[in-house]
Amino acid sequence: MSLHDVVLVDAVRVPFGKAGGVYAQTRADDLGVAVVKALLERNSLDPALVEDIGIAATSQTGDQGVTLGRSIGLLAGLPNTVPGYAVDRMCSGAMTAATQIASEIAVGMIDIGIAGGVEHMGRHPIGSNFDVNPRFLVERLVAPDALNMGATAENLHDRLPSITRERTDAFALRSQQRTAAAYAEERFSMQLLPFAARDPEGAWTLITKDEPPRPDTSLQALAGLKTPFRPNGRVTAGNAAGLNDGATAALLMSADKAAALGLKGRARMLAYAFVGVEPEIMGYGPVPSTIKALAKAGLTIDDMAVIEINEAFAVQVLAFLEHFGIADDAPHVNPYGGAIAVGHPLASSGVRLMANMVEYFGSHPDARYGLTTMCVGLGMGASVIWENVR
């Protein structure tokens, strides 16, 4: 069986909010409906042509718990004939949905699919609906702090003492500065979908920008923040992503189908990999997953013209960069900033990385290959290798 080329046609997201912030009065699934509808409308796509939809959430409960792909698809106007499913691979949910839809396309089972993620951490804080099997701890399958993501970041600091608090704070500041510059240059205009939400008083407000960024921060301000996960630790609210609300969605097609519809692919998926690591150092996951994905693609890290890595914690990004011999301030790594600035609504973030990458591809036609990668709770890594079709 020959495989079909899979292209990313479009990726969109609502502006990310702080948990309990601008979307406090908004249902999680309504955020997902908005991004799916936007994909259909801005690509003039007949909803009946969509053949599958996978939507991810880490906390699958309440308004995030009704088989999101199916329920959001129906609410967004997809006909009853279009199936859908929910995905949970924690932070890499949307990335997993995208690779699953892409796999369906690659083997010829479908031609068009939608993948995305939603997380309303204001309504569903991480861990609030978990009932962790006590065997994990009784049988020492994981250390007690493996279920606390902040603690795993401190553990990674312990393993890699060269990554100091000063380095993580400096990286966090660059994330804020690059995000501010990206806004000034309108780099997010193609991916951001304005969303109307009610404020706490019930008045409607049009949300057009991410709520979390702190462009006015400084190294002095970052250095003064407390370390909540350990006394005299190194992880702070300033050098880690916050708790956020948001939704993303991506439109994937076979290259032939996109051409037949007169749509242009923005990136071709070449390879992907998901791997496991010690849960206690969850943030190291992108290193082995990227090694595996690069091997599948027959490429090296030096071939990557742009790298979009999720900034769950600055130490996790720096561990990745240190392994591959990349400078902390490399301009091709998160060129438009990252989750430390804009936020990390868990399962939705994978598509945000893709949206940033194709923005870079569009303005750098000589950039051939790109990487989207992220660490994943309970000790996993996820990586996807892409080619610029332009």
What are 247's strand-pairing partners? 118
The letter for the amino acid at 17 is G
What are 7's strand-pairing partners? 253, 268
DSSP string, 87-125: E-BTBTHHHHHHHHHHHHHHTTS-SEEEEEEEEETTTS-
Q: What are the CA-CA distances from residue 106 to residues 46, 87, 250, 257, 378 (Å)?
A: 21, 19, 16, 12, 29
Per-residue b or e along 255-289, where b marks 16 or more CB atoms closer than 10 Å to that residue's CB: bebbeebebebbbbbbbbbbbebebbbbbbbbbbb
> Would you state the torsion angle of the CA atoms of residues 258, 262, 268, 272, taken in this order, to the nearest 10 degrees?
-30
Q: How far apart are CA 348 and CA 237, in angstroms?
A: 20
Of 120, 124, 157, 375, which one is the catalytic site residue? 375
Q: Is 344 one of the catalytic residues?
A: yes
Q: Is 375 one of the catalytic residues?
A: yes
Of 4, 91, 124, 157, which one is the catalytic site residue? 91
Q: How do beta strands 6-13 and 84-87 pair?
A: unpaired
Q: What residues contact 231, with CB distance under 8 A and at least 6 apart?
A: none
Number of Cα atoms under 13 Å in the Cβ half of residue 146: 18
Q: What residues contact 14, with CB distance under 8 A and at least 6 apart?
A: 31, 34, 35, 192, 193, 195, 207, 246, 247, 248
Structural contact between residues 340 and 172, judged by C-beta atoms closer than 8 angstroms: yes
H/E element, 219: helix 219-223
Q: Is 85 exposed, middle or buried (0-12, 13-18, 19+ CB in 10 A)?
A: middle
Q: Is 187 exposed, middle or buried (0-12, 13-18, 19+ CB in 10 A)?
A: buried
H/E element, 220: helix 219-223
Of 124, 323, 344, 364, which one is the catalytic site residue? 344
Q: Is 91 one of the catalytic residues?
A: yes
CA geometry: angle 147, 133, 159, nearest 5 deg? 25
Residues with catalytic function: 91, 344, 375
